[in-house]
Amino acid sequence: MANPRLRSITWWRKWSRKDWAIAAVGFTLIVFLCTLISNSMIDQPFDHDHAIAADLVDLTLLHNAKDKGALCLDGSSPGYHFQKGFGSGSNNWLLHIEGGGWCNTIASCSLRKLTPLGSSKYMERRVSFSGILSPYSSQNPDFFSWNKVKIRYCDGASFAGNPKSELKNGTKLFFRGQLIWEALMDELLSLGLSSAKQALLSGCSAGGLATLIHCDDFRQLLPKDATIKCLADAGFFLNEKDVHGKQTMRSFYDDVFHLQGVEGSLHKDCVSRMEPSKCLFPQEIVKNIKTPVFLVHPAYDFWQIQHILIPDASDHNWRNCRLNIHDCNPNQIEILQGFRNSLLKALNEFQKNAEGGIFIDSCFVHCQTWMDHTWHSPQSPRINNKTIAESVGDWFFNRNIVKQIDCPYPCNPTCYNMNFT
């Protein structure tokens, strides 16, 4: 099989600028990040021993997926990886939803179904569990012994697509995100989730958005006396204009919304009072969530900077800055600080939520919970001398109120800053 990164690069050349701007990177985000890490293309060293030593967990394909209509974009069965808990964690559950962008056109979804983000045919059969999924207390102090599930992402709409939209596309694409979510929950409930004492639903990037969309649904499935909370990592996508004054992200979400029919998965109060596609933005979603939520987010999220704020890769003035924050000139840094201010403004109401938690660091990175070295290690990003894992644990177990907001770049020397040059 051809190298997936090279294959993806070939696809990028065939896409329109609009599709390339967001969807293409989503397809290869996970593979690309892993490649960057393995090539040491970050500012601080990565400990490969942890990744190599991590337990490998088998892929399980969803049982009776076709009977339930719960299908990936290409019609294959969705999958997940399950590692059984032990000891004090035997009755506790941690679910983590994989990220990987979205597809907003028939063309981009048709290409996506030829990747692990659209078909279980291409998914790795065994994956290592690290970061928030790690089974080792040194890497994951509060959740290491819990039942842990990595949910694979293969629908292209953050588990929110509706099959009614399939009638319009005239192709063999399956928009079944909502049905996949429901079928997965049914299967996990039968494996013991139904008797959980404590549970945390988490996700990264598009998986973080899915976590917010389904957070209250998840809570409703579990015992009323259980402690249930949600964690979204790098999933707080902003409804902001780019540097050229265009609504790139809003337009893209509008396309996803209408192509895959996601309205039925969004809060009814939201879709009834504003343009429905705006309800895909987390700033609107969190207003209606009743379950306690923790937001992990970099103030200088490289994905958002490269695809919301500066989406045009051909912009020569921004080329170096969007690849490496250290190469930004003072005027560009000022604009990035404005983007950070927009994030904090969007979070203003959420910060007043007594049950909510926040960890906003000043790093040029994207997802931080699924890798050991950013989740919890001697080299992890810290705010007030707390790692992300320690902060999330303090919040989940009510040890402390956690509202950690970092000072502006470049104040935090513990940051991992990605370097794409």
CA distance 275 to 277: 6
Active site residue 301: yes
Question: Which residues have CB under 8 Å from 14's CB, separation 6+?
Answer: none
Question: Which residues have CB under 8 Å from 76's CB, separation 6+?
Answer: 119, 120, 121, 154
| Spacing of C-alpha 278 from chain mean position | 18
CA distance 311 to 21: 6
CB count within 10 Å of CB 106 equals 14
Active site residue 142: no
Cβ(352)–Cβ(286) below 8 Å: no
CA distance 368 to 370: 6
AA letter at 299: A
Nearest to 209 by CA among 107, 109, 101: 101
Q: Parallel, antiparallel, or unpaired: how do β-strands 126-128 and 56-61 relate?
A: antiparallel
Active site residue 119: no
Cβ(263)–Cβ(257) below 8 Å: yes
Q: Which of 155, 301, 372, 406 is catalytic?
A: 301
DSSP H or E stretch at residue 267: none
Output the six-digit token pair for 91. 């009755």
Question: Which residues have CB under 8 Å from 265's CB, separation 6+?
Answer: 159, 160, 162, 177, 178, 213, 214
Cβ(193)–Cβ(291) below 8 Å: no
Give phi and psi for 94, each to the nearest 5. Answer: -130, 120
* Residue labelled with tokens 């040059």: 421
Q: Which of 108, 119, 134, 205 is catalytic?
A: 205
Q: Which of 214, 297, 307, 366 is catalytic?
A: 366
Q: What is the largest CA-CA distance in the chain?
A: 57
Q: Collapsing DSSP states into helix, strand and coil, what is residue 147?
A: strand
Residues in the chain: 421
| Spacing of C-alpha 71 from chain mean position | 20
CA distance 356 to 343: 16
Residues facing residue 152 across a β-bridge: none
Give the active site residues: 205, 301, 366
